[in-house]
Amino acid sequence: MSKPVILITGASQGIGAAIAKVFAREMPGVRLALVSRNAKALAAVQRACVKLGAVAEVFICDAADEKAVEAMAAAVTKRFKAVDVLINNAGVFVAAPFLETKVADFDRIVAANLRSAFLVSRAFVPAMVKRKSGDVFFMSSIAGLEAYPNSTAYCAAKFGVTGLAKVLRVETRDHGVRVCCVHPGATWSPSWSSSGVKAERIMPAEDVARAFFDVYRLGRNTVVEEIVLRPQLGDL
């Protein structure tokens, strides 16, 4: 396989970091554009990926900020020219029922999960359409398919991500661009470390990351439009 450029937002921890490491390990020489706000954690992921054989560069960016995304896209294009695979993984989760959800929290969660995916996709998809080649992944969630209590803003954001992915798939499928929306259930990240939930009730981030790589490896005439991943013992 050729050595594509893979851009991953939210790459500093959790599933994003795991995706970067899977591509680095399975495709030596792959070029990774690692995007996050957390410079220190992102640098650690970069070092791990380089050790695994990848070419990895760090781009510090708030993916929900329009100007920051424009600057990041310019820097990525200058360094790598074209992005072959875009993985919209940036996002946050804050639990709160509808009646206790503050407007500022709603706006922040929707921006981090949905606005970020729109802005970053808008920055890189036009070039894919022009080249008639590219892959775009959206990190949605089971919460983007089903209503979860105490997750008002998060469900609203992830339902939006699911819809955005569907629209982009319809609009770009005749231009050589494959769009996949991934819906994981409970997946390990640092936020689970103090939850008290047993490890067997949570999927390893590496398993979810592997799904991205396996979907990407399929022939260009095949697209996985959506994929649902749940813990074997069921939802929490």
Q: pLDDT tens for residues 164-213? A: 999 999 999 999 999 999 999 999 877 777 778 887 889 999 999 999 99
Tell me, yes or no, if the pTM score tops 0.85: yes
The pLDDT tens digits of the residues spanning 194-207 come to 778 887 889 999 99
Four-point Cα dihedral 205, 206, 208, 214, nearest 10: 160
The DSSP secondary-structure symbol of 101 reads -
pLDDT, average across residues 51-62? 98
The pLDDT tens digits of the residues spanning 137-161 come to 999 999 999 998 999 999 999 999 9
Identify the pLDDT of residue 33: 98
* 234: in domain: no
* 236: in domain: no
Other C-beta atoms closer than 10 Å to the C-beta of 225 total: 13
Q: What are the respective helix, strand and coil percentages of the chain, to the nearest 5?
A: 50, 20, 30
* 109: in domain: yes
pLDDT, average across residues 96-103? 95
pLDDT, average across residues 19-34? 97
* 126: in domain: yes
* 192: in domain: yes
What is the count of structural domains for the chain?
A: 1
The pLDDT tens digits of the residues spanning 100-120 come to 999 999 999 999 999 999 999
Share of the chain above pLDDT 70, in %: 99
Helix, strand, or coil (residue 52): coil
**Own/partner pairs, 67-73, CB within 8 angstroms, 24+ separation:** 69/116, 69/119, 69/120, 69/123, 70/123, 72/35, 72/123, 73/120, 73/123, 73/124
The whole domain housing 13 covers 5-229
Q: What is the CATH number of the domain that holds 66?
A: 3.40.50.720
* 215: in domain: yes
Identify the pLDDT of residue 94: 87
> At residue 20, does pLDDT exceed 70?
yes
> At residue 1, does pLDDT exceed 60?
no
